[in-house]
Chain A
């Protein structure tokens, strides 16, 4: 029992279940999943479907945060990737040609990796603090996205492109499949190969890892480029879901949600150890919260307050220091890894 209690995914899981349970009481048919138009249909499917971009962005963010960095530019990369893909597709003579769409998607993803690598270069090559280095692209990137779309909302009418974020494959939303593949790949690279260890070691102490013979620079570049790629895929999903690119709004504030997801998932902002499954849980918690607000009908005026309250509670419960104080007053505190950052994060 105590082993389960101490598992670092225990509390995030409890929170997710509690949020879902809330819906059980307040919303009829919340857990009903049916087949409609040849695909699965239901609120729970929606949560995973709309949560997919956030999960992707958060995955990239997890690795960046594990190196004790941060990437604020993911929201802008989301906007740029969607904008570029939609622009290329709208220029195609036949918007439904699979080759043309693949070309556009490929180009957008290459650009995302380049943008991520640019962040990595600023951080690892020049030594600018991550928060500043990525802030540059966060601000400039949205301008770039608007430049690409000419400040307009670019609408496309392409069924292959639609598949990425709004389509279904084998009755499952295609976005979920993409997420599963990326997650599996990331888990393989970081947990089965040495990359994860290298990342944790760079995050723990970059200088010591360099002296131990790890190319900290290479690791950082890889991680930021990967984060850019994840944001790029998320951008394609978001724009494909509504078949249009909105340079101004796509992925707006997603970086904050992603950071929150990572922290809820138990990866400390100070770097070092990270948890991919925790991050996925964190992202799902955030999306469940959003969907819950819509389904139980929290008035729009109080939505932000409601979110802030839930997130505060989540962060408090997640903090081992807080838990020891409140729940185990009589027992001797046995906190091995206090995560003080978690207590102060209340952004919704």
Chain B
């Protein structure tokens, strides 16, 4: 009896493996031919996670653009953990996809796995976030926003707002996930602009992990330990939205008592901006799917692509937000 059962299981397992083999063989063939023989390009995409509304809009756009461009997309969600992302990239290498694209969770620690991809002759495209690797030959191109520029735009608005004032401006900052490129760059860009004038003082700065819950928790603590806050700069909308609740809970009016600057411009953030609870949002567009598919096709075809491609972005004031809100895709 036991023998028969194990034989059955074995047979089942073999059938499964064979099915697995045949499908991966198909994929392998197409990648040998540069993905051109059946016209269908296979892209492995390792997403950071679904930590914010921005990210989910980004995911959706990439999936839709892949479908529109006729690209077969293998998608994985790393849940904000680098080891998951490395695992996903390794599995794409094993599956011999034509091109790998990913948004690195953190900036450092990618050399080994990128070398593996290079050895397997699979081109890599970075989207949205950069890596700090010295060897730029490890990836073909980096498509995404310029976070330093975003930080500068945020800082510039602040400087313009307070240009006539002589008093000190006390700023608190909600940073993104510690060590991530947007957190590092949005912080340094902002700092660069405001440091020109000593009246701008960042009195507290903590990580809110890009989430509403943490944003609220950290802001509550800020409000208690620093009674005099003029400006909040949050590295994304979601943390800002969490902080708004904390500010309201403290009996202050967000947007008036404490001016709020955020980055991203997701739907909920734009709504809060239009409602006057946020004062200024620097856009960081997640809709880079079409550009990504174009780049992927060029890279696989062996064409030269620039090392850095910046997505087109703007900024929103409260009036602009009210105008733009009905037509936003995310």
Contacts and interface: CB of A to CB of B under 8 A. Distances in A.
B245 A50 contact: no
Contacts of B220: 46, 50
B242 A242 contact: yes
A166 interface: yes
Q: Which of A37, A42, A151, A294 has the most C-beta atoms of chain B within 10 angstroms of its own C-beta?
A: A294
A37 B225 contact: no
Interface residues of B, number: 38
Contact of A27 (B53, B211, B217, B225): B225
B52 A291 contact: no
A152 B53 contact: yes
A118 B49 CA distance: 27
B213 A242 contact: yes
Contacts of B53: 152-153
B64 to A, nearest CB: 13
B221 A291 contact: yes
A196 interface: no
B261 interface: no
Contacts of B222: 294
A209 interface: no
A155 B53 CA distance: 10
Contacts of B79: 142, 248
A151 B50 contact: yes
Contact of B250 (A41, A146, A246, A294): A41
Nearest to A301: B178
A72 to B, nearest CB: 15
A244 B251 contact: no
Contact of A36 (B52, B56, B250): B250
Interface string B246-257: 000111000000
A277 interface: no
B268 A155 contact: yes
B224 A151 contact: no
Nearest to B238: A153
A29 B251 contact: no
A247 interface: yes
B122 interface: no
A29 B227 contact: yes
A166 B251 CA distance: 14
Nearest to A239: B213
Nearest to A152: B56
A252 B220 CA distance: 20
B175 A246 contact: no
Contacts of A301: 178-179
A28 B207 CA distance: 21
Contact of B211 (A42, A249, A296): A249
Nearest to A248: B50
B264 interface: no
Contacts of B218: 294
Interface string A230-255: 00000000100111101111100000
A297 interface: yes
Given A41-B250, A244-B212, A246-B212, A303 B207 contact: yes
A153 B206 CA distance: 23
B225 A246 contact: no
Contact of A43 (B205, B211, B221, B251): B221
A101 to B, nearest CB: 18
Nearest to A153: B53
Contact of A248 (B51, B175, B217, B245): B51
25 contacts: A29-B224, A37-B249, A41-B250, A41-B251, A43-B224, A46-B217, A46-B220, A50-B217, A146-B50, A152-B53, A153-B52, A153-B268, A241-B213, A242-B216, A242-B242, A247-B50, A249-B51, A293-B206, A294-B222, A296-B225, A297-B204, A297-B205, A300-B207, A301-B178, A301-B179
Interface of A: 27-30, 36-37, 41-43, 46, 50, 142, 146, 151-153, 155, 166, 238, 241-244, 246-250, 290-291, 293-297, 300-301, 303
Interface of B: 49-53, 56, 59, 77, 79-80, 175, 178-179, 204-207, 209, 211-213, 216-218, 220-222, 224-225, 227, 238, 241-242, 245, 249-251, 268
Complex A-B, nearest 9 residue pairs according to Cβ-Cβ distance, in ascending order: A294-B221, A300-B207, A242-B212, A295-B225, A248-B50, A300-B178, A36-B251, A43-B224, A249-B211
